Amino acid sequence: MYNQGAVEGAANIESGSRVFVYEVVGLRQSEETDQTDYPIRKSGSVFIRVPYNRMNQEMRRITRLGGKIVSIHPITVLEPVNGKTAVETTNSEVSELVTPVSANSEVSKLVTPVNADSEENGKATPVNANSEVKGFAKSPAKDKKGNTMTQGKAKHADVPVNTYRPNAPFIGKCISNEPLVKEGGIGIVQHLKFDLSTGNLKYIEGQSIGIIPPGVDKNGKPEKLRLYSIASTRHGDDVDDKTISLCVRQLEYKHPESGETIYGVCSTYLTQLKPGDDVKITGPVGKEMLLPEDPEANVIMLATGTGIAPMRAYLWRMFKDNERAANPEYQFKGFSWLLFGVPTTPNVLYKEELEEMQQKYPDNFRLTYAISREQKNPEGGRMYIQDRVAEHADELWQLIKKEKTHTYICGLRGMEDGIDAALTAAAAKEGVTWSSYQKDLKKAHRWHVETY
């Protein structure tokens, strides 16, 4: 799972100006990775709105930040972008962006790309920048409207960051590699557990680690790392502080021109690991998806596919008996609600765990599935997570309004617009403009998003 968000400017533009939307990949990810001098392979896009008279200046700035422009779309000054009036981007800050993938921002070759190998948190997907592990919902068209659902940064002290770097990674060992998709399901998704006992890799829930696959890329250079969201709590699946776990789906898709089947490099490597195999690990990184420290907080979780990874870590911390015993200072007393989208019932990852926690803590945990190929939405189409959010929009809106509520969204890009639309309608019933309210949630560090 990757941490990406849309970039929105703060400056105003005069009525009548021509405005363009740049779709950009490869920008820096966060304050931590801003300081690094190594490349991280990333998927996903940010959308930057630029007035005509600043186009060249913005192109140069994007290049300096390591970005690559993959498409440009004209809009008018008053044309709303995802419910917002287009505004000019400023030269000030590009927060929560990723380390350079490419410094080549050639505008002469702009096309809307097919992402060939955007290794998901699997962060990968053929058309979507991350349909690898999260690619269980319908692959959406590229978002040309921008994205209101950028990440908000949580306030946490003493969060470990970049203990291990690509030039000196930690060498862990694969302890186990277990399938998560049941018979009759779609794709290959594995739960991997690695031994950390010989190192000093500490992490907390909501962070990610980097994996460096062996071998060289198509240019003959060593493979770059891919980031994967951690699926275990800080104590690990064995609650002994000696392991870390990932949830990885193998990327597989047809090349749009040749029709050849393409497999993700890192996801294939990971899903085929054997117990005892060595793995190069970097990190941890990330502060955007961290849980609130308040055990009485409310937590809304919206996930698709392997977007369940950080949610599993949250839920273990909240409800697993061994975890609760290991964390006497954190005894969850709030309310959590997971809305989880998958294509088929056999693709419900960690199904037994989730349903056991719901049965044991019915007053504190609510579980709602959106099973796209088995359930129908009110219009008779497939039931995606956006449809479930719309179905429960009024309840979710009432919960979101509570000061102690945090919302976490993780999975395939494309779910955001439907979520926005549903909450826009619910908020409008009380005369509230959702897009403005959402900005306040982000400022309060109560709105957290990783989509690809």
Catalytic residues: 228-229, 410, 450, 452
Name beta bridge partners: 88. Answer: 11
Q: Which structure tokens are listed for 105?
A: 């921002």
Question: What is each CA distance from 359 to 216, 356, 375, 438, in whole angstroms?
Answer: 48, 5, 23, 32
Exposed / middle / buried, residue 386 (Cβ in 10 Å: 0-12, 13-18, 19+):
buried
Query: Any idea how long the chain is?
Result: 452
Question: What is each CA distance from 169 to 275, 279, 397, in whole angstroms?
Answer: 19, 9, 43
- Specify the DSSP element, H or E, that contains 308: helix 308-319
Q: Collapse the DSSP code of 238 into the 3-class scheme (helix H, G, I; strand E, B; otherwise coil) and give the result.
A: coil
Is-contact 354 320, C-beta < 8 A? Answer: no
Q: Collapse the DSSP code of 345 into the 3-class scheme (helix H, G, I; strand E, B; otherwise coil) and give the result.
A: helix
List strand residue ranges (DSSP E) for 16-78, in order. 18-25, 46-51, 68-76
Q: Which residues contact 33 (CB under 8 A, 6 or more apart)?
A: 40, 98, 99, 285
Distance CA 63, CA 67 (A): 5
Is-contact 360 351, C-beta < 8 A? Answer: no
